[in-house]
Amino acid sequence: MESYSLFHLNEYIRRVLALNFREPLWIEAEIMQVNESRGTHYLELIEKEKNSDKVIAQASAVIWYRNHSFIKKKLGDVISDILRDGSQVKVKCQVDFHERYGYKLVIEDIDPSYTYGQLELKRQEVLRRLEKEGLMELNKGLAIPDVIQRVALISSQRAAGYQDFREQLAQNPYGYRYMIDVHDVAVQGVHVERDTVQAIEHITSAEQSYDIVAIVRGGGSKLDLSGYDSYEISKCIALCDIPFVIGIGHDIDISVVDQVSSLSLKTPTAVADFLVEHNAQFEGIVREIGKNIGIHGINQIHELRHSLLHLAGSVNSAARSTLQQQTYVLDNLRTSLANESLIQLNKHQALLEKYGVILDQVDPERVLQRGYTYLTRDGIQISDLSALMTDDEIRIHSTDNSVDAQIL
């Protein structure tokens, strides 16, 4: 059996490949890893089994500096978004084989619409799944407390939006103070999901309770935002019992995380403004209540004063009427007393008159004036004439005078 040297074999393989892959071709794959060295990008492309993480194909690829310049000229900065770990890409490449370095794909062009499309497909799938599992509205159903004080902040301290957020909050015109626990995470790239999920789990299991969880980061491209289309993050948010407020810097596009959270705002600054205005609104309500209590109190005092005056008037008139009544009773009593006394007086008068008449009748003077006389013997009145004896000396009395006589 004939044997070949390794070089001969590889040279043969190279010729076979060169013969069969004369023209470059478009392939679809996922970037597992990308490294850059002096303008040249080295990629590891893979393909996974559908609905699984099992890698069924893998190949190394390279974008030479010259090709990269060409693509960048065509796509602009989007290229750096696409060339990231985890990106789904459609690339135009030449199949290359080198006797020493082996098989590799030399990338000449990139179709960005494929990457966008894949992201959108993934996004739609995640949304459908969340919908199906009833997770879409859970966090939205949580009430944001009237006053927000304790904030769990998920962000990157290196991100521009983070500083904006802190400054905006610190410089609030009302002087509100917030307790902010920062969970430093990657806000772009492949670690967004892992870091964010870990942070949420940490927050949920922490002893400290929070009023809200805020996820903020500065602006980014559409591709940049794709990390927040994560099912895992969205599920964590849905199952967390703290309301989430999101400000991950976007103008038009809305991530899945935005959609499952209690409140979605455009920028970190907008989130800071919300925290301040939300509290200011509550303070306003409290102030209004305070004012109303004051007004109410004054009204009540007025009412009480009024009823007091009314009462005083009533007491006055009641006293006056009682007094009048008593005066009337007294008047009646006085009249009765007098009348009764007069009646008694009249009775006495009548009695006295009767006594007067009797006295007149028995008055000896008046009897004598009518011509009667009476006899006395030795100064003693004689009422029985048969008691008189012959020779008895008697005196006969009339009104004015008397004469002595002798019984014959």
The footprint of another protein (CB under 8 A) covers: 334-335, 338, 341-342, 345, 348-349, 352, 355-356, 358-359, 362-365, 374, 376, 379-381, 397
Q: How many CB atoms lie within 10 A of CB 235?
A: 19
Residue 304 C-beta: closest distance to another protein, Å:
49
Residue 393 CB, shortest distance to another protein, in Å, is 18
CB nearer to another protein: give 15 or 348: 348
Q: 3-state class of 151 per DSSP?
A: strand
* Nearby residues of 237 by Cβ (< 8 Å), 6 or more positions away: 139, 200, 213, 244, 257, 260, 261
- Output 361 or 406, the one with its CB closest to another protein: 361
- Cβ atoms of 155 and 165 within 8 Å: the answer is yes
Of 205 and 383, the one with the shorter C-beta distance to another protein is 383
- Closer Cβ to another protein, 284 or 356, answer by number: 356
C-beta closer to another protein: residue 144 or 368: 368
Entry field: residues in the chain = 408
- Dig out the tokens for 286 from the structure: 């409290």
Considering the complex, what minimum distance in angstroms separates the CB of residue 348 from another protein? Answer: 6
How many other C-beta atoms are found inside a 10 Å radius of the C-beta of residue 133? 12
End-to-end C-alpha distance for the chain, whole angstroms: 232
Nearest CB to another protein, comparing residues 35 and 376:
376
CB proximity list for 246: less than 8 A, separation 6 or greater? 214, 215, 216, 255, 257, 258, 261, 263, 264, 265, 271
Which CA distances in Å does 397 have to 106, 295, 365, 369, 388? 192, 113, 11, 11, 16
d(CA 167, CA 188): 22
Nearer to another protein, 7 or 355 (CB): 355
